[in-house]
Amino acid sequence: MNGRGRREERARGREVVRGACAAALLTTMACGSKEHGARTAELAAATVPAPAGVAAPSVAARGAAWLPEGATDGDWMMPSRDYAGTRYSPLTEVDTSNVGTLQLAWTFDDGESHYGHEMTPLVQGNTMYIVSPFPNRAYAIDLSKPGGQVKWKFEPNPSPIAIGKACCDAVNRGAALYDGKLIFNLLDDHTVAVDAATGKEVWRTKLANVEDGTTMTMAPLVVDGKVYVGNSGGEMGVSGWLAALDAGTGKELWRAYSVGPDSMVRIGNEFSPFYSWMRGKDLGVKTWPANAWKHGAGAVWGWVTYDPESKWIYYGTSNTGPWNAAQRPGLNLWTSGVFARNADDGMARWAYVFTPHNEWDYDGVNENVLVDLPIDGHPRKVMVQFNRNGFAYTIDRTTGEVLVAKPFGHENWASGIDPKTAMPIVNEAKHTVPPGRWVRDICPADIGVKDFEPTAFSPKTGLFYVPVQNVCMDYKGREVSYIAGTPYWGAHMSRHTGPGGHPGSFIAFDAAKGEKVWEIPEDFLVYSGALVTAGDVVFYGTIEGWFRAADARTGKVLWSRKLGSGIISAPMAYRAPDGHEYIAVAAGVGGGAMTQASQPGFPPRGSTYYVFSLGKNVPAVPPQTGAKGEGGAPQKTGGKP
Amino acid sequence: MSDSRRAWTVPAALLIAAAVGCRQDTQDVRGGAVGDRTLPQSQPAVLRAADTTGLPAEGALARVAIGDIAGVGNNTLATQMKNPYSGDMAAITQGQELFVGMNCAACHGYDLKGGMGPDLTDTYWRYGGSPAAIYKTIFEGRPQGMPAWGRTIPPALIWKVAAYIESKGGAFPARLADRGRQGDLADEDTTAGSTLKGRNNVY
């Protein structure tokens, strides 16, 4: 998909055009907005100040159990920093009063500019760790050396077959540091653990056959000696799964499928979904036509979170396959939903399906952030997911009861979520069945009001910070046959900007009430993750390449810098050996952001990590150190792609 | 030709496609479409050897070098092999139906403009853009995810898919096969009467 030959620069026009998890092959983005639809007025609302006295459940106060073992307040050892998935940093040196003086401290380039950079750098102690998109090279960078010096490089050499099996760019969403190991997935369906001190491979486990269309792009969650990994391939007719590996050896301990009989889904006596339509035996088979579940997707390519008190894990399942829903009448459980499972044995505790019989590619894989919020005046243990389908779900994470489900952006496919059954009330005009006809202006488009790009939650403000997309689609289903290793897709589609004129925005959202608090409109989709700090500063990036800092309480933009490429990664904050706070983010557009590649102002691809600090901390003249050639970016080696 | 005849079997996936999944898309596999020169009309899907009458010999195809390799000798005879279906509208229509039915379109785009897989209309060919090179790429598969269809699709239908791709303007005529082997340089053809769309062509 991207020319890698001698003249790769001439592979113009061959950018991977696909929606996140969307085989978007044919996407033509129309720029004009269509002025119809329901909730647009809300979206267009101007910035309003945060309500005073917002409840402030303290994630930080939960203590070390919610952080990877050994993490200090200046460390960032997993993509979301904590098991709850908040992406909240307790560092306070950078705050609303001084963030305007942020300056570039140093940069690093991993040389893999062909593919999107969706990861978050990790830091433990004096070392930063990054994993590139395919070919998934890992780097350790010594932060005690000026400008950051490469400590080691690890080249896993995954199979290039994987490039052509990944629906939505050959991306990687990050690694996890655990017990002296850097653990991450390779696009060709291996999980690998590398000695964090030396860069030597400790173990490597094969999880699936890439030839059959399975790839792996998600970041593992590692806790209590187990590594949780899942597959990608929702457009390739896979059946989704989450597997647990032994963190010490890589040995697979169990695997829980998203479809199939209860034995495969790991549903047993402990399974207790809140709603009756999800109760019964083998619903992962019975809610499908005969054998259709075998290629029904429910891939697990998003985020996994963990509650150390209940010792349950939470993760979502991808779109239903194929997209053409006419080929799979039924509720199609357990795709497009969320599971709560025992972290230990993987047995399901409850499940909820956001989009039953998903006709629009609304994956359920977005992060499930585990926080405690006041609902109707009572503190509740909840998980919050900003779903692709445009609704923000606040769910009791102990029972699976949907407490709040409100739109957080423009959608018109459903008029709401039934409070009794928690099923969406689908707009009849937006059904894509029967196929073979164009259904116009379905909002959101396949890539959703929000895709995988993760939100941040501040226990200080009690608010979520959410990247928002305002894109709709015209859609025509078509019959498709399953052929292993090829897309099992079945749809024509074209996307256009939704009402209001802004393809994206960045918002603050009160998940206890289901209300937007403030909004920053942007000229492109906002496809980056978010970071919020104890300095009440929230960071995000735009596809155009703007990296912004805003006041977490008011949404006032306090600082912006244009980076070399579009930002689809999630920023992070760490304390360097010099004792100061640094903010890091990767700029390398790709993934679902390529759906806007034809828009004026769309940047070139890139592969650079930018690290910022307050101006007073950045030395004007770097000190002379070491022998010549000791530092700097690594050389790209030829040969294998 | 005898050594070039092989027992082509239609595997289960294709049978399923023909019988269940997308009847319209793969009707040509069962020989139902007008103008099919190689498969009898209105036959049910059965396992049988494919008729290769009138098609280039597999032995000759095997000598065609993969594109994008500098300095591949002077083996021009085989590389300049023509597609027996070039410009045949009925065959092109069948090729298009197969292109959709076998999910080629889902990777390369219904308009062939690319997606998960490369654009097939832009005259940039990693593995050669001549008819024989395209045939071989479909037959053998390629390293970055292109499946090998040689065991699945009979030769006549591969040629028809190639004819459909050629009809979209990005491929090179057989006479330029040598240039086609040079990968992306081939679109700089300036020979008189060239109809290629490359950047250096006045046409």
Per-residue pLDDT reduced to its tens digit, A344-400: 999 999 999 999 999 999 999 999 999 999 999 999 999 999 999 999 999 999 999
pLDDT score recorded for residue A37: 36
Q: Is the pLDDT of residue B38 over 60?
A: no
Contacts of B144 in chain A (CB under 8 A): 1, 160-161, 163-164, 641
Among residues B203, B142, B135, B139, which one has the least CA distance to residue B169?
A: B203
**What beta strand segments (E) does A165-238 contain?**
176-178, 181-186, 190-195, 201-206, 221-223, 226-230
Residue-wise pLDDT for A404-460, tens only, equals 999 999 999 999 999 999 999 999 999 999 999 999 999 999 999 999 999 999 999
Q: Is A160 on the interface with B (CB under 8 A)?
A: yes
Q: What is the pLDDT of residues B125-165, one digit of tens each?
A: 888 888 998 999 999 999 999 999 998 899 999 999 999 99
- Asked whether A291 and B21 are in contact (CB, 8 A), the reply is no
Q: What are the residues whose beta carbons fall under 8 Å from the beta carbon of A613, sequence distance 6 or more?
A: A94, A102, A103, A105, A576, A580, A581, A582, A583
CATH architecture for the domain at B54-187: Orthogonal Bundle (1.10)
Of A501, A498, A507, A514, nearest to A532 by C-alpha is A507
- How buried is residue A101: exposed, middle or buried, by Cβ count under 10 Å (0-12/13-18/19+)? middle
* pLDDT for the residue B171: 83
Partner-chain contact B115 A18, CB within 8 Å: yes
User: What is the least distance, in Å, from the CA of A614 to any CA of chain B?
Assistant: 41
Weakest mean pLDDT among A25-39, A293-307, B58-72: A25-39
- 3-state DSSP of B60-115: HHHCCCCCCCCCCCCCHHHHCCCCCCCCCHHHHHHHHHHHHHCCHHHHHCCCCCCC
Q: Output DSSP code: residue B184.
A: G
Which pLDDT score is estimated for A4? Answer: 34
Shortest Cα–Cα distance, A535 to chain B (Å): 42
CA A614 – CA A95 distance, rounded (Å): 10
The yes or no reply on domain A8-617 and CATH 2.140.10.10 is: yes
Rounded to the nearest angstrom, the minimum Cα separation between A433 and chain B is 16
Q: How many residues does chain A have?
A: 641
Domain boundaries, chain B: 54-187
Helix (H) or strand (E) segment spanning residue B58: helix B58-62
Active site residue A319: yes
Residue of A nearest to B26 (CA): A481
Q: Which residue has the tokens 């059965």?
A: B46
A376 contact partners, CB below 8 Å, separation of at least 6: none
C-beta atoms surrounding B97 within 10 Å = 22
Average pLDDT over residues B12-20: 39
DSSP symbol at A596:
G
- Tens of pLDDT, residues A20-72: 334 333 333 333 333 333 333 333 333 334 444 444 444 445 778 999 999 99
How is A461-502 classified by DSSP, letter by letter?
TTEEEEEEE-EEEEEEE------TTS----EEEEEEE-TTS-
Q: What is the pTM of this model?
A: 0.85
Q: In what order do the strands lie in the sheet with A221-223?
A: A221-223, A226-230, A241-246, A252-257
Asked if B116 and A23 count as a contact pair (C-beta separation under 8 A), the reply is: yes
Strands (E), A354-417: 369-375, 378-386, 391-396, 402-407, 414-417
CA dihedral sign of residues A18, A23, A25, A29: negative
Q: Of the listed A109, A189, A235, A522, which one is catalytic?
A: A235
Smallest CA–CA distance from A213 into chain B, residue: B145
Residues A230-249, mean pLDDT to the nearest whole number: 97
Count CA within 13 A, CB hemisphere, residue B25.
Answer: 25
Residue B110 pLDDT > 80:
yes
CA distance A409 to A389: 10
Average confidence score pLDDT of chain A: 90
DSSP track, A21-86: TB--TT--EE-S-----STHHHHHPPP-PPPTT-----SGGG-GGGS-TT--TT-B-STTSSTT--
The ipTM value here is 0.81
Chain B hits for A235, Cβ within 8 Å: 106
What is the spatial order of strands in the sheet that A181-186 belongs to? A176-178, A181-186, A190-195, A201-206
Residue (of A571, A557, A578) closest to A611 by Cα position: A571
Separation in Å, CA A333 to CA A257, A259, A342, A415: 11, 7, 20, 22
Query: Running DSSP on this structure, what letter comes out for residue A550?
Result: E
Q: Which of A96, A87, A104, A215 is nearest to A160 (CA)?
A: A215
Give the 3-state secondary structure of residue B166. helix
Are B126 and A5 in contact (CB < 8 Å)?
yes
Catalytic: A474? no
**pLDDT for the residue A8:** 35
Coil/strand/helix, residue A614: strand
Helix orientation angle between B155-167 and B131-140, rounded to the nearest 10 degrees: 130
Domain boundaries, chain A: 8-617
Select which of A172, A319, A387, A617 is catalytic: A319
Q: CA-CA distances (angstroms) from residue A275 to A262, A395, A399, A402?
A: 17, 12, 10, 9
Q: Is B102 on the interface with A (CB under 8 A)?
A: yes
Q: Report the C-alpha gap between A131 and A133 in whole angstroms.
A: 7
